């Protein structure tokens, strides 16, 4: 009788452990899926911005057709990869899109008249904000994916992972350079009546010009 009770207690304890482990895997998997959905939302917003951005720049840089075609093709590849739902395929496609966007903004730097185009500046600002959100969502997803994958490999969860079809997920890997948002640096205008030339000699000291090699150089803060 005692042996039967012990066996029943052991079985109940094992069932309880497996139940807790199963629920833990479900929670981690759902958290990972939720994190990936946040990336997906921001990537789709990014894809929607690209055609308008290309159209705006094209109005001023009509001879850069190769760049426009590259951006358009990279966007199409990114959209196709996004439909797979596989981070290992989505990340490289998005990295390629980022590379073509850098080229597009490099072209825009050669056309300072875009500075006066409000729609272009708004698109650039929106794209920058979207990239920041993508980066935040990516880090959250990778953290969730790491915790979930570790849980799949640790005892006792590894005993139920395969029978209940829990699968490891891929990380959303992004290249640091490709993920950087290209920024357009427009030259600031010089106010009228103010010379933009740089003085050739050193600034005068309290008692006249400083002699060559004399005095102390004051180093200003770099901007």
- Residue 157: is its pLDDT beyond 60? yes
Decide if pLDDT at 187 tops 50: no
- In the chain, % helix, strand, coil (3-state, to 5) comes to 65, 0, 30
Q: Decide if 129 is inside a domain.
A: yes
Q: Is residue 7 part of a domain?
A: no
**Residue, of 50 and 199, whose pLDDT is higher:** 50
When mean pLDDT is compared across 11-20, 45-54, 212-221, the lowest value belongs to 212-221
Establish if 194 belongs to a structural domain. no
Q: What is the pLDDT of residue 204?
A: 44
Give dist(CA 58, CA 104) in Å, integer: 10
Say if 148 falls within a structural domain: yes
10 occurs within a structural domain: no
Element (H, E) at 204: strand 204-205
Per-chain mean pLDDT for the chain: 81
Q: Is residue 124 part of a domain?
A: yes
Instruction: Give the confidence band of 156 by pLDDT, cuts at 50, 70, 90.
Output: confident
Amino acid 175: pLDDT: 62
Domain membership of residue 217 (yes or no) is no
Six-digit token string for 19: 């139940």
* Sign, CA torsion 71/73/79/85: negative
Residue 76: burial class (beta carbons within 10 Å; 0-12, 13-18, 19+): middle
The pLDDT of residue 176 is 57
Range of the domain at 121: 37-184
Q: What is the mean pLDDT of residues 126-130?
A: 93
Query: First vs last Cα of the chain: how many Å apart?
Result: 82
Would you say residue 191 lies in a domain?
no
Residues in contact with 2: Cβ distance below 8 Å, sequence separation at least 6, in sequence order: none
Contacts of 32 (CB under 8 A, 6+ apart): 141, 144, 145, 148, 169
Q: What is the CATH number of the domain that holds 74?
A: 1.20.1440.20
How far, in Å, CA of 54 to CA of 66, rounded?
A: 12
Give the model's confidence band at 110: pLDDT under 50 very low, under 70 low, under 90 confident, else very high. Answer: confident
What is the 8-class DSSP label of residue 209? E
Please report which confidence band the pLDDT of residue 221 belongs to, taking 50, 70 and 90 as the band edges.
very low
pLDDT given at position 116: 76
Q: What is the pTM of this model?
A: 0.71
Q: Give the C-alpha separation, 207 to 198, whole Å.
A: 22
For residues 163-173, give the mean pLDDT.
92
- CA neighbours closer than 13 Å in the CB half-sphere of residue 44: 9
Total domains present in the chain = 1
Q: Please report where in the chains the tokens 């990936």 appear, as a residue.
A: 36
């Amino acid at each position: 009788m005692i042996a039967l009770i012990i066996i029943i207690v052991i079985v109940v304890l094992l069932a309880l452990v497996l139940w807790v482990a199963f629920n833990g895997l479900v929670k981690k998997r759902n958290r990972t899926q939720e994190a990936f959905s946040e990336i997906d939302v921001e990537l789709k917003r990014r894809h929607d911005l690209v055609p308008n951005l290309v159209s705006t720049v094209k109005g001023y840089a009509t001879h850069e057709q190769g760049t426009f075609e590259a951006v358009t093709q990279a966007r199409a590849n990114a959209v196709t990869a996004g439909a797979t739902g596989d981070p290992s395929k989505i990340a490289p496609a998005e990295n390629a899109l980022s590379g073509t966007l850098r080229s597009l903004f490099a072209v825009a730097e050669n056309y300072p008249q875009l500075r006066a185009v409000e729609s272009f500046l708004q698109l650039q600002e929106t794209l920058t904000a979207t990239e920041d959100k993508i980066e935040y969502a990516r880090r959250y997803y990778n953290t969730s994916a790491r915790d979930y994958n570790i849980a799949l490999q640790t005892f006792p969860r590894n005993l139920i992972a395969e029978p209940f079809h829990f699968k490891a997920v891929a990380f959303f890997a992004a290249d640091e350079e490709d993920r950087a948002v290209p920024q357009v640096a427009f030259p600031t205008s010089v106010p009228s009546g103010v010379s933009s030339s740089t003085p050739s000699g050193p600034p005068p000291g309290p008692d006249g010009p400083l002699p060559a090699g004399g005095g102390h150089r004051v180093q200003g803060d770099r901007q």
